[in-house]
Chain A
């Protein structure tokens, strides 16, 4: 009788584990893990949309050539959503329902990622490293937060750090911020307003619309306001034009930028106007001598990656791919979406991705909350601080 009971218990246990291992794992076969990525391949951010997945594939190819993750090769499907939230929802629906991907990775943009929260909750599918640095991504009070693992330091935190650094450079600093009037700028402003309240200062604020190419009005207002330190919350062309406009006006404040302005093309295109520009960065410099940047450059050389493609955004795809692969490893030999979430939540000060050390647990999916500051000195981006919180 005891033997029969034991057989029944073992059978039930096996059935339970069996269900967990096979039925709940779309996108997993014996030799493949299918992941879904939504990028902007033909919209306003198409330049990044081409580069970021190329960086990710560079690392996935490296992993696949070395046997994959627990014997399974990683295959990434990239959907184009043109940075449009409505199209992103359709793309994610397709990836989840039609393509049956195992998990989502690197969905680009704040509002597109916000738009897919209901889908994440409905399908209980994890999203690793959304390609936006908005602090809302790691806000655990928002819907489906338990499925999102943010690898980047929030824009709000970054703006706070930059203001504090400016005040550290000069306690009489008059600070201004020129921000993109969208979800990105919204999150930057949140950090600025927090700093204003905390430090008892007033920051001059000037906005511009996404895609703007003329910043004469904003720069003029900063000059009129006597700003000695100007924070730019743009992407690549905005800091270049702003600094060149200021140079033409004979206005020379200390320009600083949120991490999307860290692209090395800023130093190349801004020339003398960009000298001294300080930007925040949540990862090690791609051309620095740390292990991951070294591996990155080695793989780029081996894969003959064009020099124009190499840089911050390509490296971003590369380093977030390392985070995903580590999570997949920690999900075990028979991964499920739940096991991936549990695996990600075991990251404890893990520094293997060429970013700042990442920590996740059940109540905190922010991953990172610090940045290093990088300054253009003699035309070269140079790290000038350690990780700042």
Chain B
């Protein structure tokens, strides 16, 4: 059993770690507004943790989820309550809260045993709605839709505060998530997930316990989304139900699709691409439209996202990572490229 992209090797990890360490110093040296860019990168890091988990569920196991913002909300609210109301240390909440989100994933895994495709998508979307309503209903702990103020994370006696410190906290977990997920997907668990995705009957015939692995996939994905929620709550210091609307879940799916579904590095690339596009490229396009044609761009962001998804699905279904692999193979074989392979 092989992944869709066999070439996802580990040599990129040291390069990624080096890049993660160097980037903030580069930004600080290059621009006075480095804090803004660090904030964007922190968002990228948090979303990567979630989309990698989503990719394990949707890309590797073939189970669609349109409610991952709900798992993120569970992680965020659990940690905010455990740390600020119950008084648990942040380090402990960092372990417990993602597990709580994972357990919710486990529960959602039950219907996944009987339904699939669009119906599963709708069920998970419903889960997202239910979580928002649940948060509002539990207003004694969550302050309802008014939102919750969250403290800064404290680890080993140090309070982590500000974009600079948040960056290293978030990216430590982002890198760990990437390494752990990649490792997991190369193991027996990952192979079982892929077998289920490719053919449930064949997987069952090979002795794979479908129910167990499907629920495990939901659990793992929920844990990652919960971890992302914990980091988001404690680095942003405020959470509300508006933070976790269902559009966010759709964006996560777009990130995974654009990056290349069924590949860990693809989820990473897709997340970087979409978040940077949203925060850095779209404003430039909007400004350009406004200055050149006196057009008020309005909802241009949704238009661009829709267009990108549309173009990727039609012309590049393997996503950015697939595109990168094609380019690499092209140069390796140059000038003996079989033409039909690259058209």
Distance in angstroms between the alpha carbons of A46 and B296 in the assembled complex: 13
Residues B147 and A42 in contact, CB atoms below 8 Å apart:
no
Q: Known contacts A85-B240, A89-B236: does B146 contact A136 (CB below 8 Å)?
A: yes
- B43 near A: Cβ within 8 Å? yes
Residues A98 and B33 in contact, CB atoms below 8 Å apart:
yes
Prevailing SS type, chain A contact patch = helix
Q: Kindly name the residue among A41, A83, A100 whose own CB sees the greatest number of chain B CB atoms within 10 A.
A: A41
Q: Which of A12-71 contact B (CB under 8 A)?
A: 41-42, 46, 50
Residues A186 and B298 in contact, CB atoms below 8 Å apart:
no
Q: Give the chain A neighbours of B39 by CB distance below 8 A.
A: 89-90, 93, 97
- A181 near B: Cβ within 8 Å? yes
Q: Give the chain A neighbours of B242 by CB distance below 8 A.
A: 83-85, 109, 111-112, 182-183
Residues A187 and B298 in contact, CB atoms below 8 Å apart:
no
Distance in angstroms between the alpha carbons of A317 and B39 in the assembled complex: 30
Residues A186 and B146 in contact, CB atoms below 8 Å apart:
yes
Per-residue interface assignment for chain B, residues 21 to 53, with 1 indicating a CB less than 8 Å from any chain A CB and 0 otherwise: 000000000001111100110010000000000
Of all chain A residues, the one with the shortest Cβ separation from B43 is: A90
- A338 near B: Cβ within 8 Å? no
Residues A97 and B33 in contact, CB atoms below 8 Å apart:
yes
Distance in angstroms between the alpha carbons of A115 and B33 in the assembled complex: 20
Min Cβ gap A365→B in Å is 18
- A343 near B: Cβ within 8 Å? no
- A217 near B: Cβ within 8 Å? no
Per-residue interface assignment for chain A, residues 112 to 135, with 1 indicating a CB less than 8 Å from any chain B CB and 0 otherwise: 101101100010000000000000
- A11 near B: Cβ within 8 Å? no
Residues B145 and A111 in contact, CB atoms below 8 Å apart:
yes
Per-residue interface assignment for chain B, residues 269 to 296, with 1 indicating a CB less than 8 Å from any chain A CB and 0 otherwise: 0000000000100000000000000001
Distance in angstroms between the alpha carbons of A136 and B147 in the assembled complex: 11
Of all chain B residues, the one with the shortest Cβ separation from A185 is: B145
Of all chain B residues, the one with the shortest Cβ separation from A84 is: B242
- A143 near B: Cβ within 8 Å? yes
Distance in angstroms between the alpha carbons of A189 and B156 in the assembled complex: 42
Residues B147 and A115 in contact, CB atoms below 8 Å apart:
yes
Residues B146 and A90 in contact, CB atoms below 8 Å apart:
no
Residues B236 and A86 in contact, CB atoms below 8 Å apart:
yes
Q: Give the chain B neighbours of A84 by CB distance below 8 A.
A: 242-243, 245
Q: Give the chain A neighbours of B241 by CB distance below 8 A.
A: 111, 182
Residues B238 and A42 in contact, CB atoms below 8 Å apart:
no
- Please give the number of chain B residues whose Cβ is less than 8 angstroms from any Cβ of chain A in the complex: 32
Distance in angstroms between the alpha carbons of A291 and B43 in the assembled complex: 48
Q: Give the chain B neighbours of A389 by CB distance below 8 A.
A: none
Within 8 Å by CB of B147, from A83, A114, A118, lies A114
- B302 near A: Cβ within 8 Å? yes
- B117 near A: Cβ within 8 Å? no
- B144 near A: Cβ within 8 Å? yes
Q: Kindly name the residue among B147, B236, B238, B279 whose own CB sees the greatest number of chain A CB atoms within 10 A.
A: B238
Residues B146 and A115 in contact, CB atoms below 8 Å apart:
no
Residues B36 and A143 in contact, CB atoms below 8 Å apart:
no
Residues A183 and B147 in contact, CB atoms below 8 Å apart:
yes
Min Cβ gap A124→B in Å is 14
Residues B238 and A114 in contact, CB atoms below 8 Å apart:
yes
- B8 near A: Cβ within 8 Å? no
- A294 near B: Cβ within 8 Å? no
- B208 near A: Cβ within 8 Å? no
Q: Give the chain A neighbours of B149 by CB distance below 8 A.
A: 114, 117, 142-143
Q: Give the chain A neighbours of B248 by CB distance below 8 A.
A: 86
Within 8 Å by CB of B298, from A41, A89, A182, A183, lies A41
Min Cβ gap B249→A in Å is 13
Within 8 Å by CB of B35, from A86, A93, A110, A185, lies A93
Residues B40 and A117 in contact, CB atoms below 8 Å apart:
no
- A333 near B: Cβ within 8 Å? no
- A362 near B: Cβ within 8 Å? no
- B237 near A: Cβ within 8 Å? yes
Per-residue interface assignment for chain B, residues 53 to 82, with 1 indicating a CB less than 8 Å from any chain A CB and 0 otherwise: 000000000000000000000000000000
Of all chain A residues, the one with the shortest Cβ separation from B162 is: A122
Distance in angstroms between the alpha carbons of A100 and B145 in the assembled complex: 31
Per-residue interface assignment for chain B, residues 247 to 282, with 1 indicating a CB less than 8 Å from any chain A CB and 0 otherwise: 010000000000000000000000000000001000
Q: Known contacts A85-B242, A114-B240, A118-B237: does B36 contact A187 (CB below 8 Å)?
A: no
Residues B236 and A115 in contact, CB atoms below 8 Å apart:
yes
Per-residue interface assignment for chain A, residues 77 to 89, with 1 indicating a CB less than 8 Å from any chain B CB and 0 otherwise: 0001001111001
Residues B36 and A85 in contact, CB atoms below 8 Å apart:
no
Min Cβ gap A318→B in Å is 20
Residues B40 and A90 in contact, CB atoms below 8 Å apart:
yes
Within 8 Å by CB of B145, from A42, A112, A183, lies A183
- B169 near A: Cβ within 8 Å? no
Residues A187 and B146 in contact, CB atoms below 8 Å apart:
yes
Q: Give the chain A neighbours of B40 by CB distance below 8 A.
A: 90
Distance in angstroms between the alpha carbons of A85 and B245 in the assembled complex: 11
Q: Give the chain B neighbours of A50 by CB distance below 8 A.
A: 296
Q: Give the chain A neighbours of B309 by CB distance below 8 A.
A: none
- B299 near A: Cβ within 8 Å? yes
Distance in angstroms between the alpha carbons of A64 and B124 in the assembled complex: 53
Distance in angstroms between the alpha carbons of A230 and B299 in the assembled complex: 36
Of all chain A residues, the one with the shortest Cβ separation from B136 is: A181
Residues A42 and B299 in contact, CB atoms below 8 Å apart:
yes
Per-residue interface assignment for chain A, residues 147 to 191, with 1 indicating a CB less than 8 Å from any chain B CB and 0 otherwise: 000000000000000000000000000000000011101110000
Distance in angstroms between the alpha carbons of A80 and B296 in the assembled complex: 12
What are 24 of the A-B contact pairs (CB < 8 Å)?
A: A41-B299, A42-B300, A46-B299, A80-B301, A83-B242, A85-B147, A85-B240, A86-B43, A86-B236, A86-B248, A89-B236, A90-B39, A90-B279, A94-B279, A97-B36, A109-B242, A110-B146, A111-B146, A114-B147, A181-B145, A182-B145, A183-B144, A183-B145, A183-B147
Name A residues whose Cβ lies closer than 8 Å to a Cβ of B: 41-42, 46, 50, 80, 83-86, 89-90, 93-94, 96-98, 100, 109-112, 114-115, 117-118, 122, 136, 142-143, 181-183, 185-187
- Beyond the given A42-B302, A94-B279, could you list 4 further A-B residue pairs with CB under 8 A, ordered by the A residue number? A42-B298, A100-B33, A111-B242, A143-B149
